[in-house]
Amino acid sequence: AQSVTQPDIHITVSEGASLELRCNYSYGATPYLFWYVQSPGQGLQLLLKYFSGDTLVQGIKGFEAEFKRSQSSFNLRKPSVHWSDAAEYFCAVGGTGTASKLTFGTGTRLQVTL
Amino acid sequence: DAGVIQSPRHEVTEMGQEVTLRCKPISGHDYLFWYRQTMMRGLELLIYFNNNVPIDDSGMPEDRFSAKMPNASFSTLKIQPSEPRDSAVYFCASSLGLAGVETQYFGPGTRLLVL
């Protein structure tokens, strides 16, 4: 069965500081990996996704993520956080197959201090 | 495009009442998903459809929950009878292509409170 672990429930960083959110996955074949962001009171929005090619993926809002197969990880990074990045971040894993679906992690809530 | 549309945005009801949540997916999308989000359980996939046909309903909690998709532009999630533990935010999402591969576009959610 596929699964996603986001070990950090809550992270606080100062505006301008760098950010790394951790994600570990379990999937029996080649995974499709996603990061979504949820701002308060809103639905989820895709930040970036990976399924093949360059293991460093660029997304919207200056975010990037690196796929490391040996570590089963897909960590999200941003060099300099802005106050507007405060939100909840979800990692998800999916794949091909007629009954494929996304499995989401439990999320990491990011707080940004000024 | 207006994105995924959900109604109502907020619903307050009493235990035992029937609740119907509605969703209009993005035009042309062939997959539709219903999720439930709570503090305790996080984001759970309840059911998803492909071309209006239910593919996986293993996440539907119990027989009190039912979902339909009568056409490509409309879906409902019904809870009958509702219970306080059903209080949550319910999201509808749609995608173009395989459920585990393509980007899912989420609606704003329906916040349900069952008293």
Per residue in B44-92, pLDDT (tens digit) is: 999 999 999 999 999 998 899 999 999 999 999 999 999 999 999 999 9
Q: Let me know: does A32 contact A94? Beta carbons within 8 Å.
A: yes
Question: Chain B contacts of A100, Cβ < 8 Å?
Answer: 98-101
Q: Give the per-residue pLDDT at B35.
A: 97
Buried b vs exposed e over B35-56: b needs ≥16 C-beta within 10 Å? bbbeeeeebebbbbbbeeeebb
CA distance B95 to B101: 9
First to last CA, chain A: 41
Q: Average pLDDT, stretch B31-55?
A: 94
CB contact under 8 A, B106 and A99: no
SS3 B93: strand
- In order along its 114 residues, chain A shows pLDDT tens digits of 789 999 999 999 999 999 999 999 998 788 899 999 999 989 999 999 998 888 999 999 999 999 999 999 999 999 999 999 999 999 999 988 656 789 999 999 999 999
* Nearest Cα to Cα of residue B89 among B25, B39, B54, B49: B39
A101 with B99: Cβ contact below 8 A:
yes
Among partner residues B42, B55, B100, which is closest to A106 by beta-carbon distance? Answer: B42
Q: By three-state DSSP, how is residue A111 classified? A: strand
pLDDT at A19: 97
Q: Which residues pair with A10 in a beta bridge?
A: A109
For residue A90, the chain B residue with the least C-alpha distance is: B43
> Rounded to whole angstroms, how far apart are CA atoms A83 and B17?
42
Left, alpha or beta for B40 (phi > 0: left; psi -120 to 50: alpha)? alpha
B21 contacts chain A (CB < 8 A)? no
Please report the pLDDT score of residue B1 as a whole number.
67
Q: Is the pLDDT of residue B33 over 80?
A: yes
> What pLDDT was estimated at residue B44?
92
**What is the model's pLDDT at position B2?**
82
**Is 90 exceeded by the pLDDT of residue B98?**
no
CB contact under 8 A, A94 and B91: no
* pLDDT at B30 (0 to 100): 94
How is B46-69 classified by DSSP, letter by letter? EEEEETTEEEE-TT--STTEEEEE
CA distance B5 to A112: 30
